[in-house]
Amino acid sequence: MRRRTLLKGMAGAAVSATASTAARARGRQRNVLLLISDDQGLDLGCYGTPVATPRLDGLARVGTRFSHAFAAVSSCSPSRAVIHTGLYGHQNGMYGLQHDVHHQSLLDGIETLPSLLSRAGYATALVGKKHIGPDSAFPFEAELVPERSGIRDVREMAVAAASFIRSTNDRPFFVTVAYSDPHRAATDYGNDRPWPGVKPVTYDPAKVHIPSHLPDLPDVRRDLAEYYESLSRLDTGVGMLLDLLAESGRADDTLVVFATEFGRTAYSQGGVGDPSSGRDHHGRCFTVWLAGGGVKGGMEYGSTDDFCYNITANPVHLRDFHATILHCLGIDHQRLTFPFRGLDAKLTGVEKARVVTELLA
């Protein structure tokens, strides 16, 4: 098995392809709305997990959903850096976590989607969690609702993102909304209080679905029940944002990307809830997929063997993922270069990337 094949990137879904094509015919540039959840595995209704996520499932139904996706790095900051640069961690320099004593950052001169698209005239904003650096590599015009410990106010995030989108008028926009859900919180998964506009969906630990790699233990069941409740809150927040996007009149020409940076943290090394125990990210289960205009609807793409380990058909690397997004924005990735360490580098990497034309409407 080729390592680069194993480390393939993003799985996807797309909406409003016909309307988006019409929008481009009117001369309007496509927008990008990038939604990133935190520490989520293959846990949505559309992936066969019995959890209430109707809005995300609906988004997947009308688009192209990749059925098997693998993150390039099983760590938060490095994975987010790969999403924003299209480069492996050893290429972009983000080898570890960005916060606290770790203080990892991109190498000087590395380009990112927000910096590139800002120069192309896009209005850019980050709503929620950042956890990447340096700031100079991520020149968002606005950083809204910054991450706060224990706060899972998905309505506040939706309103902030929609307000920024409305303020852009006719400018194209690139907006990243980075949720804290379903990351573990100090108390369970942020389910210790009511959140505005969210009707909690609770799960009976005795009846929850247990992934095959986890043991059937009472603590595991309780942990999964809290995790699934957080997922349903995330789904509610995404639904709020999609409704506000539609009200703004910009939905038809917006490419929506839904992604997690890597897999679930349900259960852990040591006792569940013990602050001294480690987090055991499941190394082979990641939910990373797209949703957006200009891509075929109602299809799945990619497959693995019966163990969901080896890719057997239609691998899509992060280089290809970025090339395809740029193509949807009318940008030829092969002409988009920047000088780096004496080389003519590309956002999609120094190795050849391809536009995944099989997905395009």
pLDDT for 198 beyond 50 = yes
Q: Clarify whether 285 is annotated catalytic.
A: no
Q: Which of 46, 76, 285, 328 is catalytic?
A: 76
Q: Is 112 left (phi over 0), alpha (psi -120 to 50) or beta?
A: beta
d(CA 361, CA 353): 20
- The reported pLDDT for the residue numbered 165 is 97
| 271 class by beta-carbon count within 10 Å (0-12 exposed, 13-18 middle, 19+ buried) | exposed
Mean pLDDT, range 51-76, rounded to an integer: 81
Q: Which residue has the tokens 């109602």?
A: 298
Between 70 and 20, where is the model more confident? 70
Q: Any idea which of 19-23, 32-36, 98-102, 189-193 has the lowest mean pLDDT?
A: 19-23
Residue 324 has pLDDT above 90, yes or no: no
Position 72 confidence tier, pLDDT thresholds 50, 70, 90: confident
Question: Please, what is the average pLDDT of the chain?
Answer: 78
Q: Residue 278: which H helix or E strand, with range? A: strand 278-279
The answer to whether the bond into 134 is cis (omega within 30° of 0) is: yes
pLDDT band at 27 (very low <50, low <70, confident <90, very high): low
> Span 227-255, mean pLDDT?
95
Task: Find out whether 318 and 86 touch, Cβ atoms under 8 Å.
Answer: yes
For residue 322, CA distances in Å to 10, 134, 146, 213, 332 come to 9, 21, 26, 31, 11
User: How large is the C-alpha radius of gyration of the chain?
Assistant: 19
| Between 48 and 167, residue with greater pLDDT | 167
